[in-house]
């Protein structure tokens, strides 16, 4: 089963990488961009057929390793196969 974890900084947490990309886009005359926030995506192929069990396991993975829950939020998605 494929699981996609999207991780992004919480609102209010400074995003220096996003600021740098925003500045670069402005320098290239992409002035319509108002804000850039950079996140990360983790794609997991796990050996599980029960979606509920997979969700529970991936939540534990996020809480223990994949996301820094003090400053990051995460979402878990199951793409259509």
**Overall pTM > 0.75:** yes
The model's pLDDT over 7-33, given as tens digits with 9 standing for 90+, comes to 999 999 999 999 999 999 999 999 999
Residue-wise pLDDT for 31-52, tens only, equals: 999 999 999 999 999 999 999 9
**Residue range 2-77, CATH number:** 3.30.1280.10
DSSP string of 5-65, one letter each residue:
EEEEEPTTS--HHHHHHHHHHHHTT-TT------EEEEEEE-S---HHHHHHHHHHHIIII
């Amino acid at each position: 089963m494929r699981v996609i974890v999207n991780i992004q900084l919480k609102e209010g947490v400074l995003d220096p990488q996003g600021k740098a990309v925003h500045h670069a886009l402005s320098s290239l005359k992409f002035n319509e961009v108002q804000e850039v926030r950079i996140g990360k995506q983790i794609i997991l192929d796990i050996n599980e057929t029960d979606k509920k069990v997979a969700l529970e396991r991936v939540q534990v993975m996020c809480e223990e390793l994949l996301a820094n829950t003090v400053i990051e939020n995460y979402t878990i998605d199951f793409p259509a196969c």
